[in-house]
Chain A
Amino acid sequence: MTREGSFLFDVTPHHDLRAPARHRGQGRWGAWAHLLPAVVLAVVVLLAPLAATVVMSVTGAEGPAAYAGVVTDQDIWPALFHSAVWLALALVACGLGLAIAWLAGDAGPRSRMLLLIALATPAVTSPLTAGVAFRLIFDADPERGTVSALLRGGPLLLGPGWIWLVLGLAFVWQWTGLAFVVFHVGLANVPADLLRVTRIFGAGRFGRLRTVVIPALFPTSAVAMLVVLTAAVRVFDLVLIGAPGSVQAGVDVMGLFWWRHRDDLGDGRASAMAILLAAMASAVVVVVLWRLRRDWPRARHRPGDPAAPAPARPRRAVRVVTVAVAVVWAVPFAVLLLTSLRDPVAAATSGWWAGGYGPGSYGEAFDGGAFAAALGATAQRGVLVAVLVVLPAVPAAYALTPDQLPPRTRRVVAAVAVVLAVLPPQVLAVPLGDVLGAWLGGTVILSFVHAALVLPLGVLLLRNAFMSVPRPVVLRPLAQGRSALFQMTVESGPAVVTVAVLAFVTTWNDLVMGLLLNWPAADQAPLVLLQQAREFTTSAGVLAAQAVVLTAVPVLLLLATGRWLVQGLTRGVRR
C-alpha cells in the first residue's frame, strides 16, 4: 500500500438512528395508576387498621388518657424500656457488621466467601430457630448447655439479667450478617481518591473510618438499618422461645406483652400500647434515616476507578480472625444440627458431646404428619406471598422513580413506606380480626396480610434498584414505544429476586402473624415448633430437628440465589 493509496477510500462511521433522549413518561395519572395496587393493599391492610387502632386508643374507656396510662403503668413501663433496648441492639448489630466488613476487606477471597456464608445464613433463619439454638447453647444445666459445660459453676446465663446477654447475642448473631453483606459491598465502592487524600493529610485508620468511610456509607446504611430496625421492632419469637418462662417477665417487650395481656388491658390501653410501639419504631427509623440524608459526595463507583489500596495490616492475622469469626458464627447451627441428630432421650438429658446419635428426633418430628403438612402449607403461602408482593411492588417502585410523580410526592410516599415498613403487626391484629373474623384464617386472606407487611420494604428496595438503572437504558424503550417499566424490571432482576425471596422467607419464618391472627390453627410450621417448645427440655431433640428442617429451606434458597440477593440488596445503593 503506497502513501498515495492510503486515503483512497472514505471510511464513514455507522450511525445509531434510534430516537435517543426522549422520554414520554406516563403522566401523573399513569404514575398514580402504577401506584394504585400497592396503595390499595397498604390502605386496606395497614393504614385502615392503623387508623382504627388510633381511634380505638382515644375512644376507649380512658379516652386519650390511655396513653398516659400505658407509659406510667408499672407493668408496661419495663416492656417499653425493653423495646427501646432492642432498637439500640439493632444499631449494635449494624455497627458490628460494619466492623467485620472493614476487617474482611483485607482477607483473601476464600476467607471472605466463608465469612459471607457463615454470617448471611442466620439472616434467613427464623428467630424461633435462633432462640432454640441459643437456648440450647446457654442451657443452665452443665450436662446439656455448651457454655455451662465450659464455665462449670459460672453464672446462670438463662437467668434474670444474664438472659439479656443470651438474647442480645442471638439477635446480633442473626442480623449482623445482613449488615455485613451490605457494608462489604459498600466499602468496596468507597472512592479511592478520597481515602488517598485523607491519608496524605495524616488521618489514621480510625480517622479515615470516621471522616470518609462512615459518611460515604450513609446511603448503604439505609437499607441495612431499615431491615434490622424492623426486626428489632417486631422481636417476639426470639424472646418467647429464647427466654425460659420463668424469666420472660424480665425481658418482655411491648409486642409480647401486648399479646399476653391485651384482654386484661382493655381496648383503649392495648391500642395505645400498639400505637406507642409503632410511634417509637417510626421515630427511630425517621431519625436514623434523616441523619443519612446529610449531604456528602455520593460514593459513585466509576468503571475503571482504581480500588482503594490496602493499608498495612498483616493479612495472615486478618485471615485467621476472619476464619475464627466464621467458625464462631457457625456454632449455633452446629449445635442445632448435632442436637437434632441425637435420639430424643439423649438430647433431653445430655449435651451434643455425649453421643447417642440417631435419626430418632427426626422421626418423632415428622410423626403424625402434622409437621410435614404444615411445611407444605407454609411453603404454598410463602410462594403466594412472594407473588402478591412482587406484583404491586414493581409498578409502585417504578412510580417512585424520577419523571413519574412530582419530587415532593415521591418523598412523601417514600417516607410513608419507610414508616409502614416498621409497623408492628400488633397494630393491625384487632381491627383485622374484628372485620374479617373467621375469614382471617384463610390462606389467601392471611397471605394478603403477610404481603402487605412486606410490601413497603419491597417497594423501597426496588425503588433503589430502579433508580440506579442508567437513564439512557431506560429511555431506549420509551423512545421505541415500549414500557420503561419492563426494561427497568429486567435490568433490576436481582432486586426483584431479592424482594421475592425476602417475602417468601419472611412468610416462611413468621410466627407473630400466625399467633396473632391464625391461632390455634396449626397449618404453619413455626406454630408447630412453638407448640413443641412448650416442653423445651424434654423435646429438645425434636425441637432441634424441626428447627433444622425449618431452616433448611431458606438456607437452600439463599445458596441458590445468593449472588442475586447480594446484588439486589446493594444495587440500589451502589450509585
Chain B
Amino acid sequence: MKAGDQRRGRRRWPAGPKAGWPSGLRVLLPRNRAELLAVAATFGPSLGVAILADMAFDRLLPLIPAGLAVGTALFLVSTRWLRTRDRPPPPPPLTPERLPRRAGPLVGRDAAAEEVTSRALDRGLVVVRGVPGIGTSALAVEAGWRLAPEPERQHYVDLRGQDRDEPEDTASVVERVLRALGRPLGSIEGAEGAAQEVLAALRGTGRVLLLDNVERWSQVAWLPRHVQGGRVVVAGDVKSGDGDAVPSDVAVVQVGPLTAADGMALLSSRVPRARVEADPAATGRLAELFLRRPAMAAGIARWLAENPRVPIATLVADLERGPHDLTLQVLLAAQLRRVRPAARRLLTLLARAPLAELGGDAAAALAGGAEREVDQAMEELSQHGLVERVRESRVRVVDAARAIVPPPDDWEAAWRRLVERFADRADFFAERLPSAEARGWFGIEDKALLAILRTRRPAAWAAGPLWRIADALEVWFLLEQRHKERRETARALAHAARVLGDADVRATAELRLCLIALVLGEPGVAQEHLDGAAGLQPGVESWPAQIHLARAATLLATGDEFAAVEASLVQYGQALAGGDATGQATRWINMAVLQIRRGQASGFEDRTDEADRLYADALATLVRALEFARQAGDANAEAHAHELLAIVHWYLGRAHDAMANHDAAVRGYEEAGDTIGRARCQVHQAAALPAARHREAARLLRSALRRLPATGVSTALARLHLAVAEPRSLRAQREKGLAALAPWDGIAEPMQVTEIRRRLRDLGDPPG
C-alpha cells in the first residue's frame, strides 16, 4: 500500500496544479478579518470618491474604473504589509546539534571524566549514570569534549520530551537520534534497522554521540554496543526496572556525590574567598550537608552572590530548619522573590503549561507579550536558576521551581493564545514543506503539537486550531513516512472530535486511521475505521469522495468483490469537483488496479485470454491516469502509474517496457520520498528476476524488507520470494511471511492472500 507525497505542501495536496490565472486570483483574495477590513478601508473611500465625483460631474467613465484601480492598488499594498507582518520568525537554523558548552573545570570529577573517556575509547558505548542534580550531564559533556574536541565531530541529543511525567518512548528516541545524525527516517521498522543506521553514521569517523537525560535503559537498548571508530555516551538516571536492567557487558560509570572538600572547592569557585573563609565552621557545615550535589552547590552559590550581607551561618541555619530534600526549592523560592513581576508571571505560565519545553515564539504567545520582552524575562529566569536554557531559544522550567510557583490567574486565556499560535505556525510551515525551514520547525515542534492535540478535554474554542494542527501533523508525518505517528495523530484527532461533537472531523480521523491501517497491512482494522467513518455520515449520498475510495481500497484488501469496488470507484469519480486533476488521476489509477486485479484472478483461474484483455485495458487506463497525474503535478501518482505499467507490461511479456516503467517508478518514488513505494518496486523487481540471479534478488528483497511494514501482502510476497532466493533462511522467512498475513486470520481475504499463504506453507525445509 502506498502513502501519498506531501512534497509541495498542504494547501496543494499532493501537488499544486500548474497554476493558472484563477489560482493567482485566489492568492489575492482576503484570508482573514484584518484583510477584509483592508478591503473595506481601501475600496470604500476610493469608490466613494469616484461616485461623488461622478455625481458632481455626471460622468460615468472613467472615474469609477479609476476608483476601482486605486482601491485595488491600495488593497494589494496593504495585504502585502499585513502578510509580511504576520510572517513568523524563522526557526533556528538546521545546524546539527553539538555538545553544550563545557561547564568550566569540573571540580572533583577529573577521575570520573577520565574513566568515562577511557571506557568509551575501549568499548565504544559507555553509560554515565547518576541521580538528577549530581552532575551527570556535565560529566558526560566534559567526556564528550575530550573524546571529540572538534564540534563537527559531535552529536548531542537531549532525550527529555514534552511530557514531564513520561519519558520518551523508544520510537521517539530513534527518530531524534537519526535526525541528529542526519540519517533518513523513512519507515524504518524495528530497532535493528535503526542500529544499522547509527553504525553507518559513526563507524570509523571518530565522532561522538551523546544521549543526555536518559531515564530508562529501554530507551537506548537498541543502540549498537560496539561502534568501531565511534563513541556513544549515554548519560542520565538510566533507571533499571524489571526486564530493563543495563546489561553486564555495557560499561557503566556511576556518578556519586561530591566530597565535602570538593563541595567547598566548588563553592569557592563562585563565591569570593573572603566570604567562604570568614566563617570556616559554618562553611564546613554547609559543605558537609548541602554541597555534595553540584546543582545544590550552584544554587547556594547563586543565592550567596545575590545576598552578600547574609552570613553563611544564617543560611545554614535556615536550610537546616527545612526538609533537606527540599533545599533547592527553598533556594529557588528565595530567588523567585527577586524576580520582576513579568518574569514571575511567565514562570507561572510555563510551569502550568502541559508542554515541558517552549521556544521564544510560543512563550511570547503564552505570555501575550512581545517576543523581545519575553526573551528578557526568560533570560532573567535563567540567571536565577528557575529555568534552564535548552538549545538556543528554548526553555524548560527546573523541576524544583515548578513546585514553588503558584498557579497562574489567567491560564485559560494564555493557553488559548498558545494553542492558536501553534495552529498558525503549523499552517504556515505545513504550506512550506518540504523546505529546510519547515522541516526544522516541525522537527522541533512536532511533539509539542501532538501534546496539544492530545489535550484530554479541549474547550469549544479549540476546535479550529486543533483540526489545523492535526492537518499539519498529517502532512509532516506523511512526508517523513512515520505512519505510527500518523496513527497517534489521527487517534488524538478522533478523541478531540468526539469530545467536541464534530462528526465531520471524526469521520476524517477515522478515514485517516483506515488509510494508515491499509498502509500498514491491517485490513481488519481498516474495515473497522472505514465503518466508523461511514457511520458518521448521514447517508451514502453525503459521503465525501475519499470514503468511497477508502471503501474501494478496503474491499480490495479484504476480498475480490470487484463489482462493489467498481461501484465505489464510480461514486468516487462522481463526487469529484470539476477540474480536479489529482482526483481524476487517483480515479484512473484505481480503475487500472481493479482491471489488473481482475486480470490476476482470471489468470489464476486459467482464463488467460480474459486476463490479457484486462491487462491491455489496464494499459490504456494507466496512460490516461499518467496524463492526469502530470497535469496535476502529482509525482507520487505518476510513480504509482509507472509502477502499475511495469507490472502490466511484465504480464503482457514486454520486459523492456516493464523495465523502463519500473525505473521511472523508482525515480518517482525517490523524488517523492515514498520509501514504501520504493520498497514495493524492489519486491516487484526481485520477483521478475530469473532464478539464476537469486543473489541479486535476495539483496533487493532484504533492502525492501527494511522499509516495508511488518504485515501486508507486499511483505508476505517479499518473504516468499526471499525464501526461494535464499533457501538457508527458508524457515525464518516462512514464519515471518505467515506472520505478515496474520491480519487476515479470521476475516475475508483476497485470492492472492490465500495463494501466498498456501505457497508459504508448502515451502519445503532446506536439505540437511
Contacts and interface: CB of A to CB of B under 8 A. Distances in A.
A10 B714 contact: yes
Given A11-B600, A21-B547, A445-B55, A487 B511 contact: no
Nearest to B36: A33
B684 A6 contact: no
A560 interface: no
Given A22-B505, A473-B575, 10 more contacts: A3-B606, A9-B650, A11-B596, A20-B545, A21-B547, A380-B61, A439-B55, A444-B60, A472-B544, A480-B10
B26 interface: yes
Interface string B45-82: 00000010011001011001000000000000000000
11 contacts: A6-B604, A10-B683, A11-B644, A13-B556, A15-B4, A16-B4, A20-B507, A20-B544, A473-B576, A480-B13, A481-B427
B544 A12 contact: no
B661 interface: no
Closest 8 CB pairs of A and B: A6-B603, A20-B546, A17-B4, A20-B544, A18-B13, A21-B544, A6-B604, A13-B553
Give the most central of B4, B546, B589, B637: most A CB within 10 Å. B546
Contacts of A303: 574
A480 B577 contact: no
Interface string B438-460: 00000000000000000000000
Interface of B: 1-4, 6, 10-14, 22, 26, 29, 36, 51, 54-55, 58, 60-61, 64, 427, 464, 467, 471, 474, 478, 504-505, 507-508, 511, 515, 518-519, 533, 537, 542-547, 549-550, 552-553, 556, 572, 574-578, 580, 582-583, 585-586, 589-590, 593, 596-597, 600-601, 603-604, 606, 608, 611-612, 637, 640, 644, 647, 650-651, 653, 680, 683-684, 687-688, 712-714, 717, 751-752, 755-756
Interface of A: 1, 3, 5-24, 33, 303, 380, 384, 439, 442-445, 470-473, 475-476, 479-483, 486-487, 490-491
Contacts of B427: 481
A6 B651 CA distance: 8
> What secondary structure prevails in chain A residues at the interface with B?
loop
A9 B589 contact: no
A165 to B, nearest CB: 43
A16 B6 CA distance: 12
Nearest to A33: B36
B546 A21 contact: yes
A9 B647 contact: yes
Given A7-B756, A439-B55, A14 B604 contact: no
Contacts of A18: 13-14, 546, 582
Contacts of B606: 3
B637 A12 contact: no
A303 B752 CA distance: 34
B546 A442 contact: no
B303 to A, nearest CB: 52
A9 B545 contact: no
Given A13-B590, A380-B60, A439-B55, A483 B545 contact: no
Contacts of B549: 13, 15-16
A16 B546 contact: yes
Contact of B54 (A19, A442, A480, A482): A442
A472 B13 contact: no
A442 B50 CA distance: 13
Nearest to A438: B55
B1 A12 contact: yes
Nearest to B625: A14
A482 B546 contact: no
B567 to A, nearest CB: 11
B647 A21 contact: no
A486 B537 contact: no
A486 B545 contact: no
B680 A10 contact: yes
A443 to B, nearest CB: 5
A482 B549 CA distance: 23
A12 B552 CA distance: 11
Given A6-B600, A9-B687, A444-B55, A476 B577 contact: yes
Contacts of A3: 603-604, 606
Given A7-B752, A10-B714, A17 B611 contact: no
A81 B713 CA distance: 81
